[in-house]
Every structure is written in structure tokens, then in C-alpha cells.
Structure 1
Amino acid sequence: MRLLFTTWAWPSHLYALVAQAWACRAAGHEVLVASQPALAGEIGRCGLPAAVTGHDVDAVAMVRRYVIGAPRTDAGGRGGGPRAAEMFLAHAESMTEALVELTADFRPDVVVYEPTALAGPLAAAVQGVPAVRHLYGTDLMARAGQVLPGLLAPLAERYGLDGVDPFGALTLDPTPPSLRPPAAPPALPVRYVPFNGGGRPVTLPKPGAPRLCVTWGHTMAKLSAERFLLPEVVRALHPLGVELVAAVSAAQVPLLGRLPEGVRVVVDAPLHGLLDTCDGVVAHGGAGTVLTALHHGLPLLLVPQLPDHAGHAGAVAGAGAARLLPVADATPRRLREECRRLLEDGAPRTAARRLREEMRRQPPPAARVGALVSAAGRPVRPSDN
């Protein structure tokens, strides 16, 4: 069987697909990962074959516009719908033509796409093969279900389609059941396998005091240095007397400034390996960070600044595994208070461990290869199970 995986050029969205793509390769299937030019190198670093489709879109500029409330610039000159949906449409318009050509050449049996890569179901529909959504966090696209079909209609009409279902024929969901929105479409659960990039793993020695990992993902630093709150969060938490590990990228190092003595800075290391000896995580609310922390049963203090971060953070806080602090209230005093409660109150840790057990009970990616084979209309072979 041939499987085409696709995402637009955002590394964290790619990382969410890696475990399933490798499970399919290990089962003997042919896998190709398609994205815009900016992501080709990262796909290769994940050990997967890459195909370049379309052209790059300045996603950072688009996110910056809707975060700071700048005047609306509609993708393709059309109005209506959430700003984020406009950005997803811009990526779809960038990729669809080339992705349609690629599906005609590669002839995949199924197209697997992350939920915001809407060129995926479009190209699958043109080729007449099923499209499978693979979520990377809480299903926030469910609330856009009334908007997306109309948003995609002009692109669908271009290829003679009456419409395209943005939710595909099947959804694979790596989040624990407690984080699923009530209105989300049906989904097959799949175990979350952390993949946070191809950097060299770092294992920290066991600490003598409580250890907190502070990380702020990649997006906020790209938007502006002022929104990259990690340095001020670290400085605010230092008086607590806990061990602080700042997990950053090489691009973020110049933004750190002078940090207090004793803060451990780890650069370009996969988050998964860092959390084995940590007692909690302080972060921005990104889906990969949240799920990796829950994979380790760690409670979180989350300070979201983007709508999707707020959605993921709200879900895990609603399940009791995180404390949520609005950015406007994230003063040094409040940060210290919330971290102290996170470490001293056993309820968030208990809830995080409960979510970890939910995640462990879900079938691993290898067990879902058969579902992809079935979606493609082929019989499941014993080796696919």
C-alpha cells in the first residue's frame, strides 16, 4: 500500500505524523511525506522521504496579524470565517495544485493529513482515495465544522468537486479521551508517541530539589521577542529554590539575556528525554508540549497567548492536570504562587497520571496501520495488525 502524509510547513505539525508514518513503513508500506519547500529538510531529518509541493506561505506574518489584531487581510481576497481558517486556506491554495499532481503520479491508496492541512482532503478527493485526519492535539477544528466546507468550496469547484469533507473518512486521535471536545467527530484513539525533533537526546541527572522544565515552543519567539516569555518566567521562578531547566532552540538563545545562576539551559534537545526527571512543566500551551508532559504524567502551569494554545491549555486544565494563568496576570508573584501550588497540591499530578494511563491504554501507531489499510479498501493482512 502507498500512503501520502501531508502537512504545511510547521515542524510541530509534522512531528505529530512521524510515529504513524514510521509505523506504516515498518509494516512494509510505501510512505511519502509532502509539504511546502521550507519543511523538506526537516522531513529528511525525521528519516522520511519528502516531496515538495507548492510554495511557502508566511505563516508567521499571518499569525502575527491575528494575534495583534491588525486589519484583516483575507486569504484569496475572500472574507468570512476565523482568522486562523484564513491562514489554513492560504496554505491549501499554496499546496493543492502541486499535491493533486503528486497524487496523480504517486497514486496513494490513502492520504493522511494533519487537521489544518486542508490540501490533503482536496487532493484525495480529486484522486478518488480516502483521506484520514491525524490530530496533533485536542480537536480544535471541530468548532470550525460549519465554516470549513464553504471556505474550501471555491477550491473544490476548481477541480469539479461538489464539495470536500474537511474531516476526512477517518480520524486518528492521539489525545486521551478526557481531552476530547464533546462535539468532536468520531475518532479512533491512537497512543501518543512523543517526537519533538531530531536533536540529540539529553538525559539529566536526578535532582536534589524539585525540578521544573520551562519551555515556550517555537511559535512565540518567531512572532516577537516580547511574546517569548521564557526568560522572564525563569527569572520570576528562581526565588522558589527549585531547579529550573530552560529548554530552548538555538534560535532562541540570543533572546535569553542574563539568566539567574544555576538555571540549566538545554538547547535543541527533544523535550521527551528532558522530562524523565522533572516534577512539572511551565509552558505556553502548545499541543506537543502538553501531550509530551502528560506522557510523563507531569502537571503543567500554562500561560497561553494564541487561540489554539488557549484551546489545548483549557482542555488539560479542565481535566485537572494543569493550572491556567492568563498572560495578563502572569506577574512574577503570580507565577511563583501558581508554581508553588502546582508542586504542593497533589491533585494536578494525580490528574496528569490519570491522563497518562488513558494514553497508555490507547493502541500504538502500529496497531492502527490496519485501520489505514481498511480505509483504503484493502483487506488487512496479518502483518498489518
Structure 2
Amino acid sequence: MAEHPAYPVGLRLTGRRVVVLGGGQVAQRRLPALIAAGADIHLVSPEATPSVEAMAEAGEITWHRRPYTEGDLATAWYALIATSDTEANTRASAEAEAHRVWCVRSDDADAATAWTPATGTSEGVTVAVLTTEARGRDPRHTAAIRDAVVEGLRDGTLVAPHHRTRTPGVALVGGGPGDPDLITVRGRRLLAEADVVIADRLGPRDLLAELPPHVEVIDAAKIPYGRFMAQEAINNALVEHAKQGRSVVRLKGGDPYVFGRGMEELHALAEAGIPCTVVPGISSSISVPGAAGIPVTHRGVAHEFTVVSGHVAPDDERSLVDWPSLAKLTGTLVVLMGVDKIGRIAETLVANGKSPDTPVALVQEGTTAAQRRVDATLATVAETAAAQGVKPPAVIVIGEVVAVGPRGTA
């Protein structure tokens, strides 16, 4: 047997009797996958770990609170032998052999008729890795290979082409604050599988360089006071490319629903009958202050934080922000898209009761290599921002939390 490798196969255990001998750590690790497979699981063990006991109490397994006895494996399809009694394990293994039951032994793999592979899943694909006899069956090596493959599938660095027709549609993907490593695993995978990417300027630009040559990248950048692609044109592009049967990713900075017009795009797709997936992203309103050493909440300092858009001034009739009420809050105020309006914002807050000495931090290009932090107060922020040449994109943090963290983390 040692001269031949194991033959890999996937067992379909739904509704079929599976016997597990032993309720210790090995069973605790293996039972969830057997439960997920829909097996009729019978645990034979006098004792069990709290986690295994909880599975029995939840009705996920049937627990026979006794040691192994002859006949326990007679009608099983599959057995996992994992007791601390070597003699009982040997007898159970012999019974499994006699009844032609595939059997895994945790204490002696050479005496088993089946081995448990290192497994992982990613979007409906199960990866199972078995190390051959020739390599000595090193479990850590096997697990490392499994982890590398699964991680590659999840983050999009390992891409297998689809040879069957995929359902066309659009994914609204939040790319995070700018650092390409801060996009979600699901977002990165969908980006790697896309045929078309419609990207904002604030999306993680470095990820676009990793796309295969056949992927069409459309620049939907809304550059302040410069060229821009009207929202209606973006909506039309999403619909048109999806109707052509292509997989489309709308790559945005931050989160699609935090000042990202994601719902407008979702409505346009719904009206056109286009399926849409929304992938949340890490919002710059939290991540950028954190990257600059500023917690938006801190015990004894701020018990709440408020995120507002500063793209229109407080005295602009289009503003929906209740600035007088914000001035009365004691927590943290985070302003997005407000660099050129910060002077009037500061004046309004002070005029409505906020102390002019309230600390303010402007964090430009947060989480990227170009990140920089400029500190001021409400009384000085307009002058300081102009003198320091602060440009968008920048996140503005107003409140005592600005002074909490070590300044050197900026």
C-alpha cells in the first residue's frame, strides 16, 4: 500500500450514517464539515469537549455517551476513529475493514483505509489537498498548500477562467480608502474576474495594474473642478456592458453607500433588470483617521462620531446638514469632501457654540504612500489648510480625539 498514492474522491454523505468515535479535539475539528455535508452523525464517546457537547444539544449530532462496542460501525458509510484508547481504535478499525466502511484513524494513518485531506472553500469551490506517501505526509505542508490555493482564489491572485457561461451582472465594489491591501477579499476576487471595470479616481488605482490585458477599464473619475463623467453616463455604461453579457465591476473608493451614489446606480440597474451585487468597503471616514493615529471614538473622550459631507457650504441652500445641531455635539465630527469649505464650516460651528480651540486634523491621501496629516484648531484651520496646501482627497476630523493619539503616527 505504501507504494501507491491515495485515490482522491468526494464522498456524498447526505443522510448517510457516519460514526465518530471519541469526542475530543479531533472530533471537534472534523464534525463541522460532516455536519455541513448533511451526514447522519453518531458520536460514540463517554465524554466530549464543550463545543462537541453543544453540537449534540443543538441536535446536529446524536451522542451515545459510552465507549466503543463491537457493532457500532456495522451500518456506517464512513467512520472517524479518534479516541485515546489505542486498543479500542484497533478493534474499531478491524470492524470497519470487515464491513467495508471507509475509516480514518487519527492515531495511526497507516492503519486507516482513508485519509482526511486539508480542505478549504471559496465561492462554491472546495479545495482538498493530500500529501503523497513519497513526501512523508507532512500535515503542515499539506495545510500550507491548501491555504495558498484558497487565499489565491479568494483575493483574486489565482484566477481560473470560466468555461461555462456566467450570469452577466454588475458588482458595486467598495475599494476602501486607497491602500490596495484594504479592499475586501470578495471585492478583489470580483475585480479579478471582471470583463469591464468602471473605476473612480478615489478607488485603489494600483489594483487596476493587476488586471489582465483583455479587461476594459473605463475612467469614471469625478475630479473636483475638472473633467467628470456624469452620473447618468455611468449608469448607462453599467447597463450597456452588462446587457452585452459582460461581468462588470463598478470600483469605488471607500464604501458604495457612503457618499458613493451606490443606490442611484443600483436603482438604474434594477430598472433595466440587471442583477447587482453590492460589496461593502472600508469607509475612509473611519479608516483614514485610524491610519493617522486618530480614533473616532475613545473612552472618556468621545462616545459617538458623526460623518457629514462638506461638498456644499453650510450656508448653501442645497445643504442638508444641520450644522447648528452638530456644533452642540460633544463627540467626533468627520467631514468628507470639505477641504475647500473648511473655513465656512469652522466659522459655522464656532458661531453655534463650538469652542474655537477644538482640535482639527486634515488627513490627505490617507492610507497611501502620499499620506500626510496637518493639525490645527477650528480658529486656525482655514489659514493652516491654505498655507499647507492641503488638497482633496482629505478627511477632516474635528474633536478632542485628534489630541488623543501619538502625533508621530501620522
Asked if Structure 1 and Structure 2 have the same fold, meaning a TM-score greater than 0.5 normalized by the shorter chain, the answer is no
- TM-score normalised over the length of structure 1: 0.31
**TM norm structure 2:** 0.29
Greater radius of gyration (CA): 2
Structure richer in strand, relative to its length? 2
Q: Which has the higher contact order (CA 8 A, sep 6+)?
A: 1
